[in-house]
Structure 1
Amino acid sequence: MSTQISTDARTAIQMVPLGVVVGGRHDVREDGWADEIARIVLDGEQLDPDATLGLVAYSHLEVVFYFHRSTRQRSGAAHPRSNPHWPRVGILADHSPHRLNHIGVSCCEIVAVDGLTLTVRGLDALDGSPVLDVKPYVEEFGPRGPVREPAWIRELMRTYY
């Protein structure tokens, strides 16, 4: 049985960043994000000054951002990080920045909240990355039950954070 995507589902979606990553890492490197400190400066023209009220009660933040420096797109399978020792996997089974829409999602630690400026640790987005959304991390929204992952991703993640 084949499913066809309707014309309505293919309509372009426009998003306006609600902030930008300032500081942290400037160069593209894959690993060692754990100690990176950056600020997310939110747009005061889009958000009220009290938009972050209550956020300080949380320890972590989920950040949706745009991989603004990714220049490639991949729609099929490849070896993660071009490592031939890891299996070929489809783009939807990888966390590559070379996605069709170049959207990244990261969970990071909240260090400080100062009005519309959020200081975070461990955000794996580069300086200048447009921020599309932020949400407090809530454990109950995490997976229910055991989590299954392939061995190669565990090997990749050993040095990521």
Structure 2
Amino acid sequence: MPEQFITVPVIGTVVGGHTGRLDDYKGGVESIIRLNEEYPVETLQGIEEFSHLQVTWHFSQGSPADVALHARSPRDNPAWPVTGTFVHHNHRRPARLGTSFPRLMRVDGRDLHVSDLDADDGTPVIDVVAVFQEMLPRGPVNQPSWPTEMLTAYWADASDRPLGA
């Protein structure tokens, strides 16, 4: 079957927050998801009652040349197993999309002030939706030990990042 493509709108942009495509220290950073002006403010009506959002965004700082359709060790660390493209949570997947679950701090017009959004400043936002507890995974979530090892510092507070890291 030939590769198929779809077109999706960019509904907004990440303003502030992370810069530099860091692998870790994503915690404690506040940023804004700014909806584009063509979306009326009423599209956010009621969202402030929720603690978290599900945000789909595009790894725009990468390029199609970054896509890697082969098995490899996460972060090129040979201590972790070689795994396929669809195991990795990075810009090397074909659609180059990320999904995050930031905490919603407040709403100001079309600006959603969030904490712990791991997308960089200037990132195009594809979708935003309130997190419903009932829509999260059901039952136990199983995984091998290497993601926990790899992500030990992922949500560490950004202010704790060592110089040069």
| TM-score over 0.5 (shorter chain) | yes
Q: Kindly report structure 1 stretches of 4+ aligned residues shifted beyond 3 Å.
A: none
After superposition, the C-alpha distances for 1:80-102 in whole angstroms (9 at most, x for unaligned) are 01111000000111112211111
Q: How many residues align?
A: 153
Structure 2 residue 25 is the aligned partner of structure 1 residue 67:
no
Give the structure 2 partner of residue 137 of structure 1: 131
Among the aligned pairs, what percent are the same residue?
34
**Hey, what's the Cα distance between the residues in 1 that align with 2:85 and 2:4?**
22
Residue 36 of structure 1 and its aligned partner are, at CA, apart by 1.1
Q: Judge conservation of contact 1:63–1:135 (CA < 8 Å) in 2.
A: yes
Residue 157 of structure 1 and its aligned partner are, at CA, apart by 1.9
**Hey, what's the Cα distance between the residues in 1 that align with 2:95 and 2:55?**
16
- Matched to 1:153, the amino acid is P
**Hey, what's the Cα distance between the residues in 2 that align with 1:49 and 1:156?**
39
- Matched to 2:51, the amino acid is S
Residue 18 of structure 1 and its aligned partner are, at CA, apart by 0.3
Structure 2 residue 55 is the aligned partner of structure 1 residue 55:
no
Higher strand share: 1
Give the structure 1 partner of residue 33 of structure 2: 40
**Hey, what's the Cα distance between the residues in 2 that align with 1:63 and 1:143?**
16
Residue 120 of structure 1 and its aligned partner are, at CA, apart by 0.5
Tell me the TM-score normalized by structure 2. Answer: 0.89
Unaligned runs of 5+ in 1: none
**Hey, what's the Cα distance between the residues in 2 that align with 1:85 and 1:96?**
19
Residue 138 of structure 1 and its aligned partner are, at CA, apart by 1.1
Unaligned runs of 5+ in 2: 156-165
**Hey, what's the Cα distance between the residues in 1 that align with 2:62 and 2:29?**
20
**Hey, what's the Cα distance between the residues in 1 that align with 2:130 and 2:105?**
13
State the superposition RMSD in angstroms. 1.1
After superposition, the C-alpha distances for 1:62-83 in whole angstroms (9 at most, x for unaligned) are 1000000113111121100111
